[in-house]
Amino acid sequence: MTPPAVCIRDLTFRYPDGTMALQNLSLEVPPGARVALLGSNGAGKSTLLLCLNGLNDPAGTIEVEGVPVTRPNLAALRARIGLVFQNPDDQLFCPTLFDDVAFGPRNQGLPEDQVLTRVHDALHAVGLDGLEEKSAFHLSFGQRKRAALATVLSMKPGILALDEPSANLHPRARRELAAVLRAAGGTHLIATHDFDLARDVCDRAVLMWKGRVEAEGTVAEILGDRKRLEDVELE
Amino acid sequence: MHVPFDPHLLRSAGPLQALDARCKVLGFAALIVCSVSVPRERWQPAAAFLAAAALLLLLARLPWGPLLKRLLLLLPILAAVALVVPLSKAWAGADRVALWPDGPLVPRPALLVAWNVSAKALTGTVLALVLAGTTGAPALLDAFSRLRFPRHLLLIASFIHRYTATLVEELERMRRARDARGWRGRWLWHTPVLGRMLGTLFLRSYERGERVWLAMLARGWNGRFYSSPPRPLAPHDLAFVGWMLAAGLALRFAWGL
Ligand SMILES: Nc1ncnc2c1ncn2[C@@H]1O[C@H](COP(=O)(O)OP(=O)(O)OP(=O)(O)O)[C@@H](O)[C@H]1O
Ligand SMILES: [Mg+2]
């Protein structure tokens, strides 16, 4: 039997300034699921995604594809989980777009010819072919969002963890992004406020509230319950 | 906001542009080192190096506007040299010459020093601009790392290159937000608001640094940077280094040790 893509048990995390960001959070994501993480500002979505990648050090256990997120496993895990930050300027730090998209595959130790095809395929998937030599600050915001996605697609991760991928995108860029995500394989965890994106891309939804899971279900179930959405200040 | 950055200086086509970046770095470094080692008692070698730099500049065919703007940055330094050097006590007793008929008298050695310093500064700057303008920051950074420059310095340079524009944009956004809320200071520096804005900018940059660091870790960074191998060196790349070194030595020693 294949283990769940992500299995979280009793996760608790407090920021150094004392903010309780996650409290006894438990969650299981089956392999291949497309899960929307919904929740109002400050619900703990970004914090949770950072924990998945071993970038925060919470109490409790996280297993990714059956492997616990602990220091010795981090290198292998980070190759499996592609984490895209909310702000593309944090994600694109190399002199050229090519180097940014090649950064992950090179860290995985791939030979240069494979790196080349990975970069090419990833940029093609997000519709940025031919911009390899551009610097990130010469891209438009929508292009930067897609470039940020390409930087992890090139690593061929089994799990995509995306933080607000559609924030600040205009409707058309949003639709293009949804199409890219639908075409990308693997398990998806998408933290978002964008209900349309959740409907377009995801099959399941997890509603977070004050660092806990408030409800879980299909996207239609979660988004259909207006009363509950109001309770968690999403409507 | 318009950011004065090297894309404006860059020209992608030309004989210098086609050379390997590592060889260009070495060649230009050889010429610069030779030019700064010219003794201050002679005026001819400095002039010759300046001419050589001008020749390379013509070969590079860089756009004049951005180039002149960058060269203007040298003016205050040159002016300071021209004013201060003749006043030095070291020239007491040296013979004096008139700058022009009936003009002020200045000590002859002071004139030589001022000329040498200005000419060398101009030569170095022109050569650096030609190198940057014919290579571009990414290739230049890569060349330096292949020449085994300290990795951390290059990392810092590369982040400065990547984030200067982002920071300027951020400052511009804050400025607009301030003005939109009816701020009407006449001079930016008349007000503590600027101080607070710079403080915020610093904090934001600091936090951005942390997030970038996390983004690097998230993609499995292990402390090393990799880049595509450059094309193999061609004979003309090596010939360029040879020529630059030969020219540097020839100009340096043509007028004696
Ligand atoms: N670096 C930090 N230091 C201290 N507290 C933090 C930090 N980052 C987040 N927090 C706090 O942790 C809580 C959860 O934040 P998080 O960023 O995970 O929320 P989120 O669900 O992603 O919200 P948003 O939808 O606004 O992005 C919030 O109360 C926030 O103020
Ligand atoms: Mg967030």
Which CATH number is A61's domain given?
3.40.50.300
Question: What mean pLDDT is reported for chain B?
Answer: 84
- Does residue B5 contact residue B165 with C-beta atoms inside 8 Å? yes
What are the start-end ranges of the E strands in chain A?
6-14, 20-29, 34-39, 59-64, 67-68, 81-84, 159-163, 187-191, 204-209, 212-218
The partner residues of A9 in beta bridges, in order of sequence, read A61
Average pLDDT value for residue range A108-116: 91
Query: What separation in angstroms does the CA of B71 have from each of A85, B121, B123?
Result: 40, 10, 11
Q: Residue A169 has what pLDDT?
A: 85
Average pLDDT value for residue range B63-67: 87
Asked if pLDDT for residue B8 goes beyond 70, the answer is no
Q: Residue B3 has what pLDDT?
A: 39
Pocket probe mutation, ligand 1, options A13, A23, A37, A46, max atoms within 8 Å of Cβ: A46
Q: Which of residues 145-184 of B touch A (CB under 8 A)?
A: 158-159, 161-163, 165-166
Query: Would an 8 Å CB–CB cutoff place B7 in contact with chain A?
Result: yes
Evaluate: CB of A58 within 6 angstroms of ligand 1.
no
Rounded CA-CA distance B165/B161 in Å is 8
Residue listed under structure tokens 């050229």: A96
Which pLDDT tens digit goes with each residue over A165-199?
998 888 888 898 999 999 988 999 999 999 999 99
Evaluate: CB of A41 within 6 angstroms of ligand 1.
yes
Residue listed under structure tokens 């294949």: A2
Pairing of strands A204-209, A212-218: antiparallel
pLDDT tier at B5 (50, 70, 90 boundaries)? very low
∠ CA B226-B229-B231 to the nearest 5 degrees?
Answer: 160
Query: Which residues lie closer than 8 Å to A209 by C-beta, 6 or more apart?
Result: A39, A40, A43, A231, A232
Residue A84 amino acid letter: V
Q: Residue B253 has what pLDDT?
A: 92
Asked if pLDDT for residue B227 goes beyond 80, the answer is no
Asked if pLDDT for residue B191 goes beyond 70, the answer is no
Range with top average pLDDT, A188-192, B67-71, B86-90, B211-215: A188-192
Confirm whether A56 is domain-assigned: yes
Work out how many domains chain A is built from and give that number.
1
Q: Residue B189 has what pLDDT?
A: 55
Rounded CA-CA distance A190/A162 in Å is 5
Residue listed under structure tokens 């002199």: A95
How many C-beta atoms lie closer than 10 Å to residue A142's C-beta? 18
Tell which wins on pLDDT, A79 or B247: B247
- B207: tokens are 């936090």
Confirm whether A1 is domain-assigned: no
Q: Residue A97 has what pLDDT?
A: 92
Q: Tell if the pTM clears 0.80, that is, is over it.
A: no
Query: Would an 8 Å CB–CB cutoff place A59 in contact with chain B?
Result: no
Q: Residue B186 has what pLDDT?
A: 60
Which pLDDT tens digit goes with each residue over B115-160?
898 999 999 999 999 999 998 888 888 899 899 988 888 888 888 8
- Does residue B62 contact residue B129 with C-beta atoms inside 8 Å? yes
- 3-class SS of residue B27: helix
Give the atom of ligand 1 at the shortest distance from the alpha carbon of A19: 5
Asked if pLDDT for residue B4 goes beyond 50, the answer is no
Confirm whether A48 is domain-assigned: yes
Range of the structural domain that residue A120 is part of: 6-231
Pocket probe mutation, ligand 1, options A12, A19, A84, max atoms within 8 Å of Cβ: A19
How far does the CA of residue A69 sit from the closest CA of chain B (Å)?
A: 13
Model ipTM value: 0.76
pLDDT tier at B56 (50, 70, 90 boundaries)? very high
